[in-house]
Copies of this chain bind each other. A is one copy, B any other.
Amino acid sequence: MEKLFVQTSTHPYFIYTEEDIRFSITELLPKNYSSYFIITDDVVAKLYLDDCLQNFSQDQQVAHSIIPHGEQTKSVDTYYQLLTDALSYGLDRQSLIIALGGGVVGDIAGFVAATFMRGVDYIQMPTTILAHDSSVGGKVAINHELGKNLIGSFYPPKAVIYDTATLTTLAAREVRSGYAELMKEALIRDESFFHDLLGTSLAALTNDQLVSHLQSGMAIKAEIVEADERESGIRKHLNLGHTLGHALEAELGYGKLTHGEAVAIGMLFALRVSEKLFSINLPYDELYNWLEQNHYPLTLKRLNPDLLLRKMKSDKKSVHNKVHMVLVKQIGQIQDVEVPDQDLALLLDTFLRELVIE
């Protein structure tokens, strides 16, 4: 079993990665809990909820709630309903919440754990490749009507239990979405990982490749969040591609593009802006071609750049109403830059023109 150690400001935890590990949950928990509350979505529930429930004996108190899948479910209404469920099931401060699912489930279940009776323990059981990113590092959140992840906390899990068998049921789109974040981690930190990914065909992905890529990605993520848990410095680098990515998701309506697909376009934009602002050459074309070969959606309907810009300004990284973008000086060397509105509008306009069809 692969085991990755993460130190946080409050406690250490492990990321366990192995096939079929979903049948060994209780062995990997740090202690016994008064009760267990599994939060999952309707898609994952059909596939893996029964497997998870098998971990518990009859005398253990185990409850579950199934929320609709998709980004729309990360709302204040679902959040409040889950708190009501937790109270109705008799959860107390010695209970454990189990987030079984992708990033949406992990984010909202983590925020429930962070704020239920001022915080109870929780573990992440990611069932998507994308969630390798969100499940590590303790960022939990729900969406506000005015933007994504605007309500949340830093609240690390007590363990991440990653069953790679659950990744075999993913649709191609979900694989693409997850690999965009792996590509981001490579761009931020590790040139050889970047080239390794460029040489990978997602359609012909082997399990060994996948596990190796996840380990590389999570190691990068863990190293960064250990150094800067609350995102006052280098953790911001993990937002590469996310400024435009989040704005695209919000502007198109959550769910039109997957998160990773939006981030992929955002990364292309970040590379383009980096090339212009730093007057350098970056592997934009290599990344573009790889994304294209792997069927990432790289064309967009006509969008209003002003509206996109406004969304980018409501990004959490904005300060004094100025957009801050994570830019690339070279692979593995990242800089957080305030981009003046006028420059940004121009760069965005040109970039969108390259991608937009109609």
Contacts and interface: CB of A to CB of B under 8 A. Distances in A.
Interface residues of A, number: 40
B318 A119 contact: no
A225 interface: no
Contacts of A301: none
A262 B90 CA distance: 24
Contact of A115 (B87, B88, B151): B151
A114 interface: yes
B151 A83 contact: yes
B83 A114 contact: no
A154 B87 contact: no
Nearest to A88: B146
A68 to B, nearest CB: 20
Given A9-B10, A76-B76, A152 B316 contact: no
Contacts of A118: 139, 141, 149, 152-154, 230-231, 316
A195 interface: no
A153 B118 CA distance: 4
Given A141-B118, A316-B118, A153 B153 contact: yes
A277 interface: no
Interface in A10-53: 10, 34
Interface in A61-115: 76, 80, 83-84, 87-88, 90, 92-94, 114-115
Interface of A: 9-10, 34, 76, 80, 83-84, 87-88, 90, 92-94, 114-119, 139, 141, 144-147, 149-154, 230-231, 314, 316-321
